[in-house]
Structure 1
Amino acid sequence: MKAIWNNTIIAESENTVVIENNHYFPPDAINTMYFTKSETHTHCPWKGEAFYYTIEVNGQTNKDAAWYYPKTSPAAKPIEGYVAFWKGVEVVA
């Protein structure tokens, strides 16, 4: 799977985990040069507290376009630390 934004591959892995129709990429699959930690946090009742990244590619910024759960509830352990995308980031095979 590849995560693409602004015509750039920002993450790539053969080992994503799919939950609620989102592909979660292993932390080592993201190209960290495009990611900046955000101050945004949200809470999911069954996964836990989500943290966000802002993505910056070729001078364009996509605020909070990626999220991850650094510490999950026991039910969501398979995605702990993994990164998922939205806000126009295309995830393709």
Structure 2
Amino acid sequence: MVKATWNGAVIAESDATVVVEGNHYFPREAVDPAVLSDSATTTVCPWKGTAHYHSITVDGKTNTDAAWYYSDPKSAASEIKDRIAFWRGVVVG
């Protein structure tokens, strides 16, 4: 079982992650929706497409743009469609 934790809380847990470029992409239903808030931030990967971001809030602390996902990835990255990955201090393991 792979877990993502931040600020002392488990924010995602799944045994069905997809690993791309060393990042675990969790099924959206495996991520606690209560900790996510939408962000206007986007970035573009040449082979995956446009990434959208969520900020994470746990116990009143916010980690801005610490989660990302591809709602409409390019065909080479179709396996990560609507899956969520983490960075910026979120521990995944």
With the shorter chain as reference, the TM-score category is over 0.9
User: Partner residue of 1:17?
Assistant: 18
User: Partner residue of 2:41?
Assistant: 40
Runs of 4+ off more than 3 Å: none
User: Partner residue of 1:76?
Assistant: 77
Distance 2:14 2:84 in 1: 11
**Which residue identity is paired with 1:61?**
T
Consecutive unaligned residues of structure 1, counting only runs of 5 or more, are none
Distance 1:14 1:47 in 2: 23
TM score, norm. by length of structure 2: 0.98
Distance 2:92 2:45 in 1: 22
Distance 2:61 2:28 in 1: 22
User: Partner residue of 1:51?
Assistant: 52
- Looking at secondary structure, tell me which structure has more strand per residue: 2
CA offset at residue 58 of structure 1? 0.3
CA offset at residue 12 of structure 1? 0.5
CA offset at residue 48 of structure 1? 0.4
Cα-to-partner distance string for 1:16-57 (whole Å, 9 max, x where unaligned) = 000000000001010000000100000000000000000000
Distance 1:19 1:85 in 2: 12
User: Partner residue of 1:64?
Assistant: 65
CA-based RMSD of the aligned residues comes to 0.4
Please give the secondary structure, in 1, of the residue aligned with 2:71: coil
Distance 1:33 1:26 in 2: 15
TM score, norm. by length of structure 1: 0.98
